[in-house]
Amino acid sequence: AKGPIAFASFILVGLSIIMVSSGIIPPFSEETARAVNIHFRASTFQFITR
């Protein structure tokens, strides 16, 4: 069962890299930046308040 899962994940990563490098999908969008910023602030706040 490992073979098909590994093959599918390899194909998925390969297609993702091709689509980002060709410009079909932007590598970093405003929504991604907002999500990363919120996660970073939440984890930093939890670290500080411990």
pLDDT tens digits for 3-22?
999 999 999 999 999 998 99
DSSP alpha helices (H): ranges in 1-29? Answer: 2-22
DSSP 8-class letter at 24: S
List the domain range (segments joined by +) for residue 33.
Answer: 2-48
pTM: 0.52
How many domains does the chain fold into? 1
Residues ≥6 apart with Cβ < 8 Å to 20: 26, 27
pLDDT band at 24 (very low <50, low <70, confident <90, very high): confident
Per the listing, tokens 């899962």 go with 5
